[in-house]
Structure formats: structure tokens, C-alpha cells
A and B are shown apart, each in its own frame.
Chain A
Amino acid sequence: AQTVTQSQPEMSVQEAETVTLSCTYDTSENNYYLFWYKQPPSRQMILVIRQEAYKQQNATENRFSVNFQKAAKSFSLKISDSQLGDTAMYFCAFSWNNNDMRFGAGTRLTVKP
């Protein structure tokens, strides 16, 4: 079974500081994709960053980067220079067959001024 676990229901960070959100997953697949999605309050889900499992290099998108540890099945998201607009639910997601996507339960991040 493919599962995604986010062990931090809520986190907070001061504006301009760095925060890391954790995600682990379980799969027997070798080729798959991992994602972090952001869902701001009352707004739609948007893709933050994507990582292909066959790539060893960690993905980065401006202030967002991941630490992908394939052997440990870990996929954490680091947000640098946190901004008030980063306040949102963050979902880790896993897709292995391009058919469906499995999501974690989410981490509610609050950026404090």
C-alpha cells in the first residue's frame, strides 16, 4: 500500500526565518514522483515543488527546497525567508502510476509577523 505521513499537524515560524516540514512515505515502487502542494485558507491548492524519484539532486524553487532521502523514504520541505503569504496548509503527495495521487494529512503552517 502506498501511504504518506505528515507527522506535524501544525507549525509556526517567524517571518523571515526558515522552517522545515516533514513527510515520509511508504512504497515498493522504484519510479515515482513526490510533490508539495500549498492550500491557502479558502483558496485552491497549488503546486509548490516536485521531485522525480530517479533524480538524486534535490529540487529547488526560489525560497522552497526539498531534502529527498530515497532510502529513508523521506521528503521534507524547507521554506527559507518565510513570508506572511506562506501561511497555508501544506500537503505532501506521492504519485507512482500517473493515475492517482496519495496525500498526507497536511501541516498547517502559520507565519507570524
Chain B
Amino acid sequence: DTGVSQDPRHKITKRGQNVTFRCDPISEHNRLYWYRQTLGQGPEFLTYFQNEAQLEKSRLLSDRFSAERPKGSFSTLEIQRTEQGDSAMYLCASSLAGGLGSYEQYFGPGTRLTVT
């Protein structure tokens, strides 16, 4: 297994445009998480899925943000009408729920979004 992958690694967009990021978790992991990390800060939780169900969303996830995990495998995070404040690193992580080690999350390399 190659670990958690994210695409693209970098995205530059103009304010008002829509962007979509993809995350491919570790294949046997049933949980997938999205975080946002701004410069000099730790990651902030956005949302998570167990299989295809989105079980929790942070209040940080405004109505311009939507995430999906249609078949319980990869996930997409879409930001509509981007704003400059959306500029950040978007991190994806996955874990295997249940049993020892289920709290351990494995992170992808992130997608760095710059909104100009």
C-alpha cells in the first residue's frame, strides 16, 4: 500500500471559482477525515466519513464546502465560490475504526490551495 494520496498537490485559483480536491485513503481503512491547516497552525477538523456516510461536520465547514465519499473509497472536497480566506493546506487522513489502533490516523501530503 502506498499510503494516503491527495490530488492535486497544489491549486491556484481566482476568487469566486470552484475547486475540487480528491483523497484516496489506505485501501482497507473505513474512516476518512478532512482537515484544514493554515500557516503556523495545527490542522483543524472539518469532517469525517465512515464508509460512505458523512458522520460529523465541523462548524468550520460552511455551506460553500461539500464533501463526498460515494462508494466508501476515495473522497472529494469541493469549495464553491472560493474566498481568499480559504487559502490553506487541506489534509486528508484515514483510519481503521474499531479495535486497537483505531484512533490512529494516517495523513496524506495535503493539497495547498491559494486563492488570488
Q: A47-B104, A47-B106 are in contact. Are A98 and B41 (CB under 8 A)?
A: no
Query: Number of A residues whose C-beta is below 8 Å from B?
Result: 22
The yes or no answer to A99 lying at the interface (CB within 8 A) is: yes
Q: A98-B97, A99-B55 are in contact. Are A106 and B42 (CB under 8 A)?
A: yes
Residues of chain B with a CB closer than 8 A to A35's CB: 103-104
Residues of chain B with a CB closer than 8 A to A33's CB: 103
**Which listed residue, B4, B41, B45, B102, touches A100 by the CB 8 Å rule?**
B45
The yes or no answer to B25 lying at the interface (CB within 8 A) is: no
The yes or no answer to B105 lying at the interface (CB within 8 A) is: yes
**Which listed residue, A50, A98, A101, touches B45 by the CB 8 Å rule?**
A101
Secondary structure class of chain B's binding surface, majority of residues: loop
- In the bound complex, do residue A104 and residue B42 qualify as a contact, i.e. CB atoms below 8 Å apart? yes
The yes or no answer to A78 lying at the interface (CB within 8 A) is: no
List the one stretch of A13-21, A38-46, A59-67, A79-87 in contact with chain B.
Answer: A38-46
The yes or no answer to B43 lying at the interface (CB within 8 A) is: yes
Knowing that A44-B108, A106-B42 touch, tell me 13 more A-B residue pairs with CB under 8 angstroms: A44-B4, A44-B109, A46-B107, A47-B106, A50-B103, A50-B104, A95-B103, A98-B97, A98-B103, A99-B56, A101-B43, A103-B42, A105-B41
- In the bound complex, do residue A100 and residue B33 qualify as a contact, i.e. CB atoms below 8 Å apart? yes
The yes or no answer to A75 lying at the interface (CB within 8 A) is: no
The yes or no answer to A25 lying at the interface (CB within 8 A) is: no
- 27 inter-chain pairs at a CB distance below 8 angstroms, sorted by A residue, are A33-B103, A35-B103, A37-B107, A44-B4, A44-B107, A44-B108, A45-B91, A47-B104, A47-B105, A47-B106, A91-B42, A91-B43, A93-B42, A98-B97, A98-B102, A98-B103, A99-B48, A99-B55, A100-B33, A101-B105, A103-B42, A103-B44, A104-B42, A105-B40, A105-B42, A106-B41, A106-B42
How far does the alpha carbon of A101 sit from the alpha carbon of B58 in the complex, in Å? Answer: 12
- In the bound complex, do residue A43 and residue B109 qualify as a contact, i.e. CB atoms below 8 Å apart? yes
- In the bound complex, do residue B56 and residue A100 qualify as a contact, i.e. CB atoms below 8 Å apart? yes
How far does the alpha carbon of A43 sit from the alpha carbon of B107 in the complex, in Å? Answer: 10
* Chain B nearest CB, measured from A108 CB (Å): 9
* Chain B nearest CB, measured from A97 CB (Å): 9
